Structure 1
Amino acid sequence: MKQLSSAQIRQMYLDFFKEKGHRIEPSASLIPVNDPTLLWINSGVATLKKYFDGSIVPENPRITNAQKSIRTNDIENVGKTARHHTMFEMLGNFSIGDYFKKEAVVWAWEFLTSPQWLAFDPEKLFVTVYPEDTEAKRLWIEEVGLPEDHVIELQDNFWDIGVGPSGPCTEIFYDRGEAFNDVAEDDPENFPGGENERYLEIWNLVFSEFNHKPDNTYVPLPNKNIDTGMGLERVVSIIQNAPTNFETDLFMPIIQAVEALSHVKYGDDTLTDTSFKVIADHIRALSFAIGDGALPSNEGRGYVLRRLLRRAVMHGQKLGIKEAFLYKMVPVVGQIMESYYPEVVENQTFIQKVVRTEEERFHETINEGMDILQQVITELKESNQSELEGSIIFKLYDTYGFPVELTEEIVEEAGFTADHVGFEQAMTAQRERARAARSKEKSMGVQSSLLTDITVDSEYVGYETLTQTSELLVLIQDEQLVEGVVTDEAQAIFAKTPFYAEMGGQVADKGVILTADHQLVAEVIDVKRAPNGQHLHQLRVMTPLKVGETYLLQVNLAHHHSVLKNHTATHLLHKALKEVLGEHANQAGSLVTADYLRFDFTHFGQVTSEELAKMERLVEEKIWESIPVVTIETDIDSAKEMGAMALFGEKYGKKVRVVNVGDWSIELCGGNHVTNTEAIGLFKITSESGIGAGVRRIEAVTSQKAYEFFDAEENQLLQIAQIVKSSQLKEVVNKVEQLQQQVKDLQKENEQLLSKLANQQAGDIFKDVKEANGITYITAQVAVKDMNQLRQLADQWKQKELSDVLVLATASGDKVNLLVASNQTAVAKGVKAGDLIKAIAPKVGGGGGGRPDMAQAGGKNPAGIPNALAEAVNWLNQQ
């Protein structure tokens, strides 16, 4: 077997399948694009769903990739096992309706065993197959030459996620030898495919050939597909003869860096080894996820990151590292992965800033969590309990990031047991809540051959003209191809079209379909891209429409030009964001309509009004400068050399369009734009807000809509001027400030009067002291403003030592406030304010509580105040 680095193995895999005619698909962001069913990209096929379900036909049906992925369902096992990871790499080769089982099997064998490639010993390879998949078994034995005792039939070898594509699969295992035996020879799990450490699964080939229908039947797919996945970390562990994935060059540099910081040696102790592994795994996931735009928070993806970071920090503490250290590991991760994933190095400063800020914030809460745990242990001792409840373990884990094993270790050291079952129940409940909160959309759509089989050529000419005479090539109604439509809605494809299809955040064009003599035939209400790239027009048909006829396609100019202005303004805003906030402010989605533009971006923190003003000013300056907007078509490499920014979620072919605004804003974009920035006219940011963990949103308007916004603002200002009796707008601010000062003066005067009134009342009520069972008391309803003034009266009562107990009530509208105070004499005799308030609050329809010497309550029944005061007297008489 060859000695290879992880980078060499990854590249060899891609090179091998490139030689077999596959197109190399770049690794996509860990954050799913337009897929609400996924929290993270969790496999190589996850980014290719659009090809498998037929919504898009790929340029090349053979695809290969190395895809970074995150799975978080087994975080608790990371560090304890040989191969559990949060972030891992999946190497895959895929066929969309092209080659099938024979090629997939033969090529997998060739890559694994050929001296030119990985050169595995064929004797050490075993495969599992689905019992009914006799073709796969035949291929392994007859085409590859595997002995029959190396082919095992397993009923579980059927890939099925519910409704959608499914099919049998075959898994490839590597025999690591007797040294890795962790089960007995006669153990039923001691075979390739069983639960053991000796036979390591390295590759799964899925033969996707059926549609699993909602009625639970399976029918053949229109196009049979191949979906394979090889775990890079596992293959590297075999080639580098590493006991686990963690002793490979993918993790050891991180572990060695942690050794240097902790002065603890890896390999000396199982417990500390677990901490090293957790830290190495988690910082990889954190570095890549933050680099892709996810940020720590209390929900969704951000919650996962916060949990990973806190778990890693706690394991750092177990190694003796008491200060922030994870951020120092980010450059190490970047260096390991740079050959294929340069983004960590490129975003290193920002990633480190986020990690360090989050680490330092967590260090502030660690002591609080430890205090809570020690308090819980003390309570266990005092109450003679022997077990810590699972709900408390979960709270420490969920709120403070304490690893479960750490909590259980501390509790057990103190002589108690931990309710691990209860913890697992709480964890399961949380997972179910998370699943329920996620979209219930299908994870992969069922293929439909109707649109995928349409291969007619259709040319978009909207960059040059907005009016085009063209032949109608395809007409669809009620999901069937038809030759003509009389009325109702239909879908159409023309030989040429000036209508832009919705894409890259830009909405579709609207317009009309006319006859040669300009008679209205249909309205174009929407345009989408068909699987093979044609522009599919959604029509509202007015008069008969026939395939083969020629029509005049006319785009709505007003709508189109408004969209152009907003789209170019979006590019200017994107650049302004980066200049004001920093290069980390990347686009995380956009919407360009005729009425407004919406721009989502990643940012760790708030955006100030001053920063918004700077952005707005920058965009306006570019409009005033009347800069030509130049659009050129080139190849992707040339575009990158020009410094062009790629937009979020976009896939680019061999040829790309570069939109260049005076060499200031340069972006890859297939949308429509103005020819000069002056056409935008006006630009105004109308709102800025947070929409999720580390993602913020700006909405803005341009041109006519901006004018209308300013006009509405001016009208409001004019109304305010009339209200404050100002003849000139420039005097409005001064007038409003004067009014505010008047209000403050009146409020102050009112407070003084209320205080005087309260003092007068106090003089009256404090005279009426009564006695019950040796306890003196005062009860009264007073006319004061709120609870604050009740407390002021209680302070006077306390200073003057007028009685043992004070009970006061006040009403304002339908709101009631009650206050009870007890002095030390009353408390010593068992007359506690908290107990008394609980007894009387129901009389006013409320509740409350407090300390033995002071308690308060609220209610919603002012009519019940006399009853509450009477109940207070009854309660005192019964003590």
Structure 2
Amino acid sequence: MRAVKGDDIRRTFLEFYRERDHKIFPSFSLIPEDPSLLFTVAGMVPFKPYFSGERPVEFLRAASCQKSIRTNDIENVGLTARHQTFFEMLGNFSFGDYFKEDAIRWAWELSTGPFGLDPERIWVSTYEDDDDSVQIWRDVVGVPADRIVRRDADDNFWWMGVAGPGGPCSELFYDRGPKYGDVEGFQDGDRIMEFYNLVFTEFQVDDEGHRIADLPKRNVDTGLGLERLAQILQDVPTAYETDLLRPIVARAEKVTSRRYGENEKADVSLRIIAEHARAGAFLIGDGVIPGNEGRGYVLRRLLRRAVRHARLLGVDRTVMAEMVDAIVETMGEAYPDLAAARAYIEQVVTGEEEGFHQTLRLGMSLLDSEIDTARDAGATRLPGDVAFKLHDTYGFPFELTLEIARDAGLEIDRADFEVLMDEQRARARSDRRAKLDLTDSEALTRVLSESGSSLFTGYERMEQEAKLIGIVRAGEQVPSAGEGDAVEVVLDATPFYPEGGGQVGDHGVIEVDGARLEVVDTQRRLGDLIVHTATVARGEVHAGTPAFARVDPAWRAATERSHSATHIVHATLRQTLGEQSRQAGSLVEPGRLRFDFPYPERVPREVLDEIEATVNRRLLWADPVRAYETTMAEARSRGALMLFEEKYGDFVRIVEIGNYSIELCGGTHVTRTSDVGVVKILGEASIGSNLRRIEALTGAAAIEDFRNARAVLDRIAALLKTSPEDAPGRIERLLADLKAAEQQIKKAQSAGQKEEAAELASKAERIGTTSFVAGEVPGRAVGELQKLAVAVRDAIGAPAAVVLGSAADGRAGIVAAVDKGTATSGTKAAALIAQAAKAIGGGAGGRDDVATGGGKNVDGLAEALRLARAAAEELFR
């Protein structure tokens, strides 16, 4: 068996299956399309829609090397050499095409052929009832019966944990030899190591995993761990010694000045730094940003665990960007997208690392104190409120607190912590409800139960004949409402768009039998109830009567312009700043939009201008804007952008703008991009760690902003007596002239101050060995007075002491300056004016060599100077 590099293993596997008519796929994102999963956890995840029949199969065979993340054992990564969060999974798949015999035969041929594994050292396992696989291994492949192991369902039967497809597994193991353990027979472990798993989905199973029927089409789903096979082929103890991870560990050695293999405790930290940095780099490259929920929380936990272990090894600077360099150098050829995102990833990890250093500094003192207190009391547990305070006040992830406590030999009361977290969530929910003008009251619940949900017709029309099915006033369901009443009304059908997807609710009017309701907001409540917030502007309205609803066309049109503009801004941001700049929040309202997106630094004004220009050029193309419903499978196949935090049904609504943008969206839009008119980006700002916000005007509001800006420019040009085009140059020349004039004034002031200082210095008297000057200088602020006092002191030369006083703007000021030698010998400047400052109604303070004082008693200035001279007599005689 020869040593084979990780890149060679990857290429060899894919080429082997390419030759056997498999369609080769590049790795899919770590963020899966499947909303039930946080991450892509296996090679088969991107192919689930094909296995399930949700998406039509355009190929019968596929193979890939899929980057994957599993985070259920984060706390064990580093502590053992076998655990990893990030790994690469090689896989070959059959969708109703070949089955057990070909899958088994090819797995054997690949393992013993191109990979050169010794067939005498390969063991295979099968499900205990899978006689077909046993027969193929024994009679077709030729594996001796004593190296075929039948195992039960816990080990060798795959199913999803719920009713659905399932089937037996067959695994290949390799005996690595006695240096990895002394075992007899088959034992799954460090010596006899599993490296290739073949799953044969052929049954429909129930919730308990029991076979209930044969599937109409039988599939093959396999997984070969790249790091695991590299470990075998390179004959190294763990994956951390393979060429896939060793260069990254080496960089961890470099940034921490430690050597791997010399100290097990340090080795744990080095493994954590290398492994978590690699996982974090790939997650950020696929668009995840550190945060407090979901994927962002997992990423933050990984990065912070790595940073903490760097600090445990004595590192007190940012090092994660250096780790990213090593990761890209090691894996950038196989994953070009990672290499392309290097600068972005480095920015994100550095920002997170800097923030966490501050968090650690603030939180560790509290945690250390609590640990010491617990130890002194002989306790074995920290109360949960400690972990809660660290989480709530300092942003410590609970798992980090738990890990630090365990290092100190203590446990955390997790149940206590969870109770406090639940109470906090309940308070937050209560606060949110309290802030809402509308609440899901019992009255609306009764409306829904009595009359059913509302039908939204606003995609097709702006006016709708309807029936008024519910009126709520002051939280109570009422049969009628009179003029001036503020109410919530519900129609059985309405063209009013209820707020959602960032788009604000429609405004307009509802006419009911001569009465008129003015609608100022529309919300979707209790799932499918559309509630109009309105005031009875005229007459009296009664539940159960016919109504005519009419959306304000200007409001809707201006909102649609903003919504379509938002999609174009989104597409342009991703095109300009990178695919990571996905929507993280938005607000769409008439004439204005707000768009939040992940990005690690300020977007320069010139880049914003480029984005604005690209958006407006795209508007001029007059691309058609199409909205249509389709299946989720079709939306995915068309590449529609979707928010991974959202839950979508089997049918979804797509908004497609030419060939420039395609997103899942439930909002209303213009017909062509030219209907938007124009977009004006006002600016961008940070709204949190690695999150930016762009605000922009659209349509008439943007035109008005441009018009106002032009009016201001014309006014400036008129004042400068030049053209608008020449105004910037004229202002630059004026500013240059102003700066030159200011410098001349400063020179003149400096020369005048030197003359004044010299004149005052000439009046110095000797008190002991010290030259002393005291005098009043009219009309000087304390800052100017201080500069003059220092200039007088320097003009005299050491040893010297100067006290100057002045009155300006109704206040008196006094300044003392002594040379460094005088201050060092024990006579501080403040001692000269401590009593003097009281005479003007204030106190004195400052540096050893310069002190100032001030107060409102201008009339006391002469007395203050007399007291200062008396102090000098006492100090220097």
| TM-score in same-fold range (> 0.5) | yes
User: Once the 2 structures are TM-superposed, how far is the Cα of residue 583 of structure 1 from its aligned partner?
Assistant: 2.0
1:743 is aligned with what amino acid? L
Matched with 2:144 is none
Matched with 2:683 is 687
Matched with 1:666 is 662
Matched with 1:26 is 36
Cα distance, 1:617–1:67 mapped onto 2, change above 3 Å: same
Q: Is the counterpart of residue 798 in structure 1 residue 794 in structure 2?
A: yes
Alignment of 1:521-670 (within 5 A): 521-541=516-536, 542-647=538-643, 649-670=645-666
Q: Is the counterpart of residue 466 in structure 1 residue 494 in structure 2?
A: no
The alignment's TM-score, normalised by the length of structure 2, stands at: 0.57
Matched with 2:495 is 498
Tell me the SS of whatever aligns to 1:779.
Answer: strand
Q: Does 1 or 2 have the higher relative contact order (CA < 8 Å, sep 6+)?
A: 1
Distance 1:673 1:513 in 2: 23
Gaps of 5+ in 1: 1-22, 30-65, 89-113, 121-246, 367-394, 410-420
Q: Is the 8 A contact 2:802 2:817 kept in 1?
A: yes
Distance 2:603 2:344 in 1: 19
Q: Is the 8 A contact 2:363 2:394 kept in 1?
A: no
Matched with 2:427 is 442
User: Once the 2 structures are TM-superposed, how far is the Cα of residue 604 of structure 1 from its aligned partner?
Assistant: 1.1
Cα distance, 1:735–1:871 mapped onto 2, change above 3 Å: same
Larger radius of gyration: 2
2:634 is aligned with what amino acid? S
Q: Is the 8 A contact 1:563 1:592 kept in 2?
A: yes
Tell me the SS of whatever aligns to 2:555.
Answer: helix
Cα distance, 1:782–1:259 mapped onto 2, change above 3 Å: same
Alignment of 1:472-491 (within 5 A): 472-486=468-482, 488-491=485-488
Distance 1:319 1:714 in 2: 52
Cα distance, 1:849–1:523 mapped onto 2, change above 3 Å: same
Cα distance, 1:817–1:619 mapped onto 2, change above 3 Å: farther
Matched with 2:346 is 353
Q: Is the 8 A contact 1:588 1:601 kept in 2?
A: yes
Distance 1:577 1:356 in 2: 21
Q: Is the 8 A contact 2:260 2:266 kept in 1?
A: no
Matched with 2:706 is 710
Q: Which segment drifts farther, 464-473 or 684-693?
A: 684-693
Tell me the SS of whatever aligns to 2:549.
Answer: strand
Distance 1:792 1:512 in 2: 73
Alignment of 1:80-119 (within 5 A): 116=153
Distance 1:841 1:312 in 2: 55
User: Once the 2 structures are TM-superposed, how far is the Cα of residue 528 of structure 1 from its aligned partner?
Assistant: 1.2
2:361 is aligned with what amino acid? D
Cα distance, 1:27–1:578 mapped onto 2, change above 3 Å: same
Matched with 2:361 is 398
Tell me the SS of whatever aligns to 2:501.
Answer: coil
User: Once the 2 structures are TM-superposed, how far is the Cα of residue 674 of structure 1 from its aligned partner?
Assistant: 0.6
Q: Is the 8 A contact 1:255 1:276 kept in 2?
A: no
Distance 1:264 1:803 in 2: 58
Tell me the SS of whatever aligns to 2:500.
Answer: coil
Distance 2:359 2:517 in 1: 63
Distance 1:836 1:441 in 2: 62
1:762 is aligned with what amino acid? A
The alignment's TM-score, normalised by the length of structure 1, stands at: 0.57
Cα distance, 1:528–1:856 mapped onto 2, change above 3 Å: same
Cα distance, 1:753–1:278 mapped onto 2, change above 3 Å: closer
2:771 is aligned with what amino acid? T
What whole-Å deviation, never above 9, does each CA across 1:607-660 have from its counterpart, x for those lacking one?
Answer: 111111101101110122222112222122322332222247543222222222
Alignment of 1:348-387 (within 5 A): 349=342, 352-354=345-347, 357-358=350-351
Cα distance, 1:610–1:727 mapped onto 2, change above 3 Å: closer
Question: Which of the numbers 505, 508, 531 marks the counterpart of 2:505?
Answer: 508
What whole-Å deviation, never above 9, does each CA across 1:742-789 have from its counterpart, x for those lacking one?
Answer: 433432332233223323322321122123344321223446677478
Cα distance, 1:431–1:358 mapped onto 2, change above 3 Å: closer
Q: Is the 8 A contact 2:362 2:394 kept in 1?
A: no
Q: Is the 8 A contact 2:789 2:802 kept in 1?
A: no
Matched with 1:17 is none
2:499 is aligned with what amino acid? E
Tell me the SS of whatever aligns to 2:590.
Answer: coil
Distance 1:507 1:359 in 2: 34
Q: Is the 8 A contact 1:809 1:818 kept in 2?
A: yes
Tell me the SS of whatever aligns to 1:670.
Answer: coil
Matched with 2:747 is 752
Matched with 2:766 is 771
2:455 is aligned with what amino acid? E
2:684 is aligned with what amino acid? E
Query: Percent of counterpart pairs with the same letter?
Result: 24
2:312 is aligned with what amino acid? H
What whole-Å deviation, never above 9, does each CA across 1:118-172 have from its counterpart, x for those lacking one?
Answer: 899xxxxxxxxxxxxxxxxxxxxxxxxxxxxxxxxxxxxxxxxxxxxxxxxxxxx
2:268 is aligned with what amino acid? D
Distance 2:69 2:424 in 1: 24
Q: Is the 8 A contact 2:269 2:310 kept in 1?
A: no
Alignment of 1:155-554 (within 5 A): 262=253, 269-270=264-265, 272-273=267-268, 276=271, 291-294=287-290, 308=305, 310-315=307-312, 317=314, 326-327=323-324, 349=342, 352-354=345-347, 357-358=350-351, 397-398=360-361, 433=393, 442-444=427-429, 451=444, 454=448, 456-486=452-482, 488-515=485-512, 519-541=514-536, 542-554=538-550
Gaps of 5+ in 2: 1-32, 40-67, 87-150, 158-236, 373-380, 396-419, 434-439
What whole-Å deviation, never above 9, does each CA across 1:31-82 have from its counterpart, x for those lacking one?
Answer: xxxxxxxxxxxxxxxxxxxxxxxxxxxxxxxxxxx999999xxx9x999999
Q: Is the 8 A contact 2:815 2:853 kept in 1?
A: no
Distance 1:533 1:68 in 2: 37
2:599 is aligned with what amino acid? H
Tell me the SS of whatever aligns to 2:615.
Answer: helix
2:532 is aligned with what amino acid? H
Cα distance, 1:683–1:757 mapped onto 2, change above 3 Å: same
CA RMSD in angstroms, aligned pairs only? 5.5
Q: Is the 8 A contact 2:277 2:323 kept in 1?
A: no
Q: Which segment drifts farther, 602-611 or 805-814?
A: 805-814
Q: Is the 8 A contact 1:474 1:494 kept in 2?
A: yes
Q: Is the 8 A contact 1:497 1:553 kept in 2?
A: yes
Distance 1:666 1:322 in 2: 39
Distance 2:445 2:34 in 1: 22
Question: Which of the numbers 712, 720, 724 marks the counterpart of 2:716?
Answer: 720
Alignment of 1:830-845 (within 5 A): 830-833=826-829, 836=832, 845=842
1:313 is aligned with what amino acid? A
Tell me the SS of whatever aligns to 2:347.
Answer: helix
Tell me the SS of whatever aligns to 1:294.
Answer: coil
What whole-Å deviation, never above 9, does each CA across 1:827-872 have from its counterpart, x for those lacking one?
Answer: 4642233655667666574654224xx3244646483654554443
Counting matched residue pairs gives 609
Tell me the SS of whatever aligns to 1:565.
Answer: helix
Tell me the SS of whatever aligns to 1:607.
Answer: coil
Matched with 2:735 is 740
Distance 1:537 1:493 in 2: 6
Cα distance, 1:664–1:787 mapped onto 2, change above 3 Å: same
